[in-house]
Each structure stands twice: as structure tokens, then as C-alpha cells.
Amino acid sequence: MKLTALLTLGAAALTLPPATQAVDMEQHSRSNPLMQPYTTPYEIPPFELISIDDYLPAIKEGISRQKKEIAAIVANPKKPTFENTIEALDKTGDLLERAMLVFSSLDETMSTPEMVKVAEEAYPMTSVWADEMSMNPGLFSRVKYLYDNREKMNLTTAQRRAIEDRYKSFTRNGALLSEGDQAKLKELNSELTDLYLQFNKNLLNATNGFSIVVDDESRLAGLPASSVAVASEEATSRGLGQGKWVFTLHAPSRLPLLQYAADRELRRQMYEGYTTLASSGDYDNRPVINKIIKARIAKAKLLGFDNYAAYMTDNVMAKTVDNAENLLMQIWRPAVKRVREEVADMQEIVDSEGGGFTIAPWDYYYYAEKVRQKKYALDEDVVRQYFAVDSVRKGIFTMAERLYGVHFNEMPDAPKYHPEVNVYDVTDSNGDHVAVFMTDYFPRTSKRQGAWMSIFKEASTKADGTSDRPIVYNVGNFSKPTADTPSLLTLDEVETMFHEFGHGLHGMLTRARYKCQAGTNVDRDFVELPSQIHEHWALEPELLKEYAHHYKTGEVIPDSLIAKLDAASHHNQGFVTTELAGAALLDLYWGKLTETDGNIDVEAFERNVAETLGMPAEVQFRYRSPYFKHIFGSDGYASGYYTYLWAEVLDTDGFELFKEKGIFDPETARAFRENVLEAGGSEDPMTLFVRFRGHQPTPAALLRNRGLAE
């Protein structure tokens, strides 16, 4: 997933600061590092110089400067042209963008109570300014003139698309509304910004507030030694002393417990702790969800849409809710059928062991692992020993070098926001600088859950035609190293690293002419193509032989283990696909609501969706609503979680071309780099995909890849 800052047209009225305040900010700018040109290598933010007191002054000054830049565009007496309107708009807001990219990034990775307080002022402030920009009648009139006359102008494909995208952005953000309705939209946007902040704060606090303390070593039976060691170190860090183990809701702690713990009650405690996260007490997100849904319905209707899902899908490849839902159902049905087969296999093991119970949701991971060991003799604890984090990092870099000719050179003295961050100078085959890339892979209480890619600097083209290259970073919450072992990744974590690196390549290799089209600035249901297609290389034997080495002996992963990985590649895909498609459908069902009084019973709503879909009792949605940050922590993936599967239709079809030609075939790699990674949002995404692949995709390749095809 890509993390985005609130920097684009979109959300609620800001008055100009008093003259004295402007003077104060000018004085402060002399010492505020965010307001100075960075003198660091490649303009990496000087993190060690930035203090909590620097953010708000820089953001306020950034808004003030962009106001003047916008005013100059509007006041231009010359007839609107692409250069004096669209391109000029693309170049505004440098200071605001710089300040918000640093703040929003660290707000997610280095959160503190002080950062939360800044966020409570910064995000509403930028939301208000985004609304003011998107409803600026003078600016919109210039964009509309270009839109209305685009057929008569000598435009490149990228320029025409930029005009059309800007026009649609304005209209989707209220430019055609009356003044009264614009005021209502600003109120709704402001309310939603506050609600997203509250949702995220509740989620972080609820996650950090839950733990399971084990004081009986026998309850740890079945758990990998690495998981036990991490739990012991967690207990020690909390001052609990010897003979205690602490498990948290962070994935590297939660998932091994569910997968390996023989203690069924321990698995139930963890499962129910996770699935009831942020659902009660001081950090209950259910009332927040009700308010979000009510505000979204009002916003969609104000803008002329039947519901919020219609509003969100109108602006991407899917175009309609029905198109998104129809795709999901083509995947849902065979996935559910496979779940029934998987549960039967698991129940057979329970019965053979004299378990005396029926498979419940908290049993799924555990008995799926037992089935895998029985069918394929594949022990993931053994597999992990070939996937130390540094080895996997070598794997992603080797993949990029062989496909695209880029090299990653560590910069040990570069500025970094945390000691665990690694920084790399990315160069092309001719030695030219391409980008800066950073990685931040381990969990901490100040970091939100999940994995993502974002940027500290966007790629852009300067006035002299030279390219200003980006600063891109990946964040994860992978298994931590212990005193005795390095970080050993699960197969899921390996795929996640390749996934986020794919997003990173999209950001690093961009060659789009305009900032608004650079890197991952593409349709939401196209943005996951680069991330997901690169997952396929993770377990390809040709690449495994180059990076998967035993962390103790250095032995290359043996052919026998690779064969087992291949044989087990479709294992448990019914469960994985059902929980993912189920979450995507739940998201669309929330978005399809057309009215609410703000008193929806969240659990009952989820049960009704599950019953409507025929969800197996043994499977839950991948995310329950109170911790479904993708769709309630912002509007980025709202009514858009389906995009992971939409993009998988593209990526599986696209990777079949690599399999046909060779996974490192230079011509296929060149076509993908030029038409997808470099092009960004400069053309229609389906046009770009067809140019690379040669035909439009269907779900058939996805079903084959997941082993769900008949």
C-alpha cells in the first residue's frame, strides 16, 4: 500500500494569517530547517535538525506561499495555456509538500503524544486549504477553459490527461456547487479529517494496549524458538522479569502464535483480541465509523452520486461499483468452494487426534499449518532460516538489478529518522543517480501496523528540463532479530517485502514529465500492479538461488526445499482469497449505503454482509471494521480495497508473459519499465497495460495463479 499525505485538491475555508504572523514566520524561517534548502546529499531531509516545533510554522508558511502562487496563476491576464495554468499549478506548493511529506511520514513511523497534537492541527489545516484551492472559482475557470478547448489544442497525451484529471479533481471536490453547497462540503471534509484522526489514534492506542502475558512455559508448546525469544525479550523490556513471555497484536507476534501454538485457549485469546480490536472502551471505533459513514453519504449526495462507493469508483479504472463487485464475485465463489475443502482436511486431523471439537476461526492457521506439513512436509520454521532480512533485501535488489539495471549503494552516513533505517543511493547502469531509497523494517510502539511505501521527495522536471529525482522509502513490521538470531522472515513477510519494493520501484524509476503524474500518482486500482507483479519473483527458483542462504551455514536453499515450496504454493489459497475478497466486499457494502441515522450496529452489519455472501463460519473478514484502517483511517482505499484483487488480475496476466519469455527477459522487462514504472499516470492505465501485455486481462490468470481454476 502507498501512504499519501494530504497535499492534493480536496477537503475545507482558510483565512489569510495576520501580517504580524507572516513577519514572525519569515523570521522563524531563517532557523527552521524545513524552510531552508536542504544541503544534505540528494536533499534528504535533515531529520536530526528538525524539531517538533518546526512543523506547524513550516506548514503555515507553506500554505501562505502556495496561496500567493495560486493567486498569481489566477491573476495572469494572458489566455489560459497548459504551461501557465496546469504546469504552473503542478509546480506550486513546494514548501507545503516538503513539510507535510516529512511530518506525515514520521507521524506514522515515529508517533509521540507531541506528534499527535501537531497532527490534530496540521491535517485539518491542510484539509481546509485543499478545499479552498479546489473551490477557487478563478483557478477553476482557467482549468475549465482548457478542458473545454482541449480538442483544439496541440497537446501531448500526457498534457491532455493532466487537463482532464485536473478538471475532474475540481468537479469532484465541489467546483460546480453553489456557494451554499460548497460551504456544506467544506464542513463535511473538515469533519471527516477529524474523524480519520480519531480513528487512527484509537487504533494505535488499542493495539499498544493489548497484550497476552504467559507465565507457564508449557503453554508455549509448538511455537518456534524465535517467537518464544521475541516474547521473552518483550517481557523483559516491560520489566516483567524471567519466566514470562509477552505476545502483542503486531503481526510478527500474533501470526506465529495463531499458526503454531498448541494451546487452543491461547490461540483463542489472541484471535479474539485481534478481531475485537478498537471495539470497546476508551478506544472504541464503532461510533467513529458511524459518523464517517454518515458524513460520506452526505458528501456523495452533495456531489451528485447515489452513494460513496459510486463516488469513489467513478474516478478509477473500474468506473462503477458493479464492475468492481462483479470482479470480486468471480473470485469469491471458487475461493469459498476451496475453503470447504480446506476445512474438511483440517477437521480430519482434529478428529484423528481425538480433538473432540469443530474447527473454529482461531484454529484455521494452526490446522492449515498441520495440513501443509502432512501434505508437503514443509516446515515454515525451517524455511525461515533461509530468509534472513538481509538476504531478502539482497533478493529485492538483485531482482531490480537484473530486470532494470539499477544498483543500490548503501549510504551509512546519510540522514535517517531512526537508527534502524537503511539508506541507499540508487544508480542506473551508466552510473547516473536515479533515486534515494530507505528501508524501515521492524515494529515499535511508535509505528502503526502494516507495511507501506511513501516518499520524502517527489520526482519532477525542473525549468531547464533536468530531472529532480525522488526519495522513496519502505516501511514494514517484520519479525525482529533476537539476541541469538537475525530477523528471520516468514514467507508472508518475504512476499510483503517484495510487494512494497514494487511500489518503491514505481516511485524510483518514474520518468513522467509532470509531478502530478509521477510515480504512484496513478488510478487507485492500477497502483497495486507494480507492487503485486514483483511478488512473483520472490519464490522463483532462479532468484532464490541468488539470495536465499541459510543464516548460519550460508548454504544455498536446496532444490528439495524449493520443490516443496512450489508444491505448496496453492496451499490455503481458499482461506487467503476468501478473507481478502470478503474484506473488499465488506468495504463496498459500507460504501453502497444510501442513508443512515448514525446508529448502525457495526457487528450486525458485518454479520449481515457475511450471511449475504455466504461466508464460511471458519473465516473472518481480513479486517474487521473497527481496525480496517485502509477504509476508515483515510479515504485513500475507501470503497477501493477491491483494488488489490483488481490489480492482481493485471499482475498475474502480466507475469505470465515473463514466464513465457523468461523471468529476466530484457525485452519484457524493458516494456514493463517503460509502459508502467516510468509512465506513471501520463496515459490511461489500460492503454499502458495493453501496450505492455498485448491484450486486455481477464480473471483467468488470477484463478490459475491461486490454484482456484477448475
The residue among 247, 276, 305 that closes a domain is: 276
Residue 522 host element (H or E): none
Query: One-letter amino acid identity for 230?
Result: V
pLDDT at position 21: 34
Whether residues 151 and 219 share a domain: the answer is no
C-alpha 602: how far from chain center? 24
Residue 145 host element (H or E): helix 137-148
pLDDT tens digits, one per residue of 198-232: 999 999 999 999 999 999 999 999 999 989 999 99
Q: Coil, strand or helix: which one is 154?
A: coil
CA–CA gap between residue 500 and residue 530 (Å, rounded):
9
Q: Does the pLDDT of residue 629 top 70, yes or no?
A: yes
Whether residues 433 and 530 share a domain: the answer is yes
The residue among 276, 296, 329 that closes a domain is: 276
pLDDT tens digits, one per residue of 383-422: 999 999 999 999 999 999 999 999 999 999 999 999 999 9
**Across the chain, what does the average pLDDT equal?**
93
Q: 686: number of CA atoms within 13 Å, CB side?
A: 10
CA–CA gap between residue 508 and residue 439 (Å, rounded):
13
Q: Calculate the dihedral angle through the C-alpha atoms of 55, 60, 66, 72, rounding to the nearest 10 degrees.
A: -150
Answer whether 637's CB lies under 8 Å from 643's CB: yes
Catalytic site positions = 500
Whether residues 169 and 214 share a domain: the answer is no
Structural domains of the chain, count: 3
Answer whether 450's CB lies under 8 Å from 417's CB: no
433: β partners: 427
CA–CA gap between residue 203 and residue 285 (Å, rounded):
8
Q: Is residue 300 part of a domain?
A: no
Q: Is residue 588 part of a domain?
A: no
Answer whether 480's CB lies under 8 Å from 442's CB: yes
Whether residues 507 and 423 share a domain: the answer is yes
CA–CA gap between residue 336 and residue 699 (Å, rounded):
16
Nearest 5°: the CA angle 625, 196, 107 is: 115
- Residue 496's domain comprises 385-567+663-682
pLDDT at position 525: 85
Percent of the chain at pLDDT exceeding 90: 90
Question: Once rounded to an integer, what is the mean pLDDT over residues 484-500?
Answer: 95
Nine-digit cell string for 11? 477537503
Q: Is residue 408 part of a domain?
A: yes
User: pTM here?
Assistant: 0.87
Whether residues 29 and 99 share a domain: the answer is yes
For 5, residues 6+ apart whose C-beta sits below 8 A from its C-beta are 97, 100, 101, 103, 104, 105, 126, 454
Q: Is residue 45 part of a domain?
A: yes
CA–CA gap between residue 144 and residue 520 (Å, rounded):
25
Whether residues 459 and 559 share a domain: the answer is yes
Whether residues 477 and 555 share a domain: the answer is yes
Answer whether 578's CB lies under 8 Å from 616's CB: yes
pLDDT at position 44: 98
Question: Once rounded to an integer, what is the mean pLDDT over residues 31-59?
Answer: 96
Q: Is residue 97 part of a domain?
A: yes
Beta strands in 155-297 (DSSP E): 212-214, 245-247
The residue among 276, 293, 316 that closes a domain is: 276
For 614, residues 6+ apart whose C-beta sits below 8 A from its C-beta are 336
Whether residues 140 and 53 share a domain: the answer is yes
pLDDT at position 463: 67
Whether residues 404 and 510 share a domain: the answer is yes
Whether residues 403 and 544 share a domain: the answer is yes
Q: Is residue 392 part of a domain?
A: yes
Percent of the chain at pLDDT exceeding 70: 96
Whether residues 455 and 538 share a domain: the answer is yes
Whether residues 405 and 552 share a domain: the answer is yes
Q: Is residue 191 part of a domain?
A: no
Q: Coil, strand or helix: which one is 590?
A: helix
Question: Once rounded to an integer, what is the mean pLDDT over residues 171-185?
Answer: 96
CA–CA gap between residue 255 and residue 275 (Å, rounded):
13
CA–CA gap between residue 374 and residue 490 (Å, rounded):
19
Q: Is residue 362 part of a domain?
A: no
pLDDT tens digits, one per residue of 279-332: 999 999 999 999 999 999 999 999 999 999 999 999 888 899 999 999 999 999
CA–CA gap between residue 310 and residue 640 (Å, rounded):
11
For 480, residues 6+ apart whose C-beta sits below 8 A from its C-beta are 230, 252, 442, 443, 487
Question: Once rounded to an integer, what is the mean pLDDT over residues 519-542?
Answer: 95
* CATH number of the structural domain spanning residue 74: 1.10.1370.40
Q: Does the pLDDT of residue 17 top 70, yes or no?
A: no
Measure the N-to-C terminal CA separation of the chain; round to a whole number of Å. 31
What HEC string does 210-247 produce? CCEEECCHHHHCCCCHHHHHHHHHHHHHCCCCCCCEEE
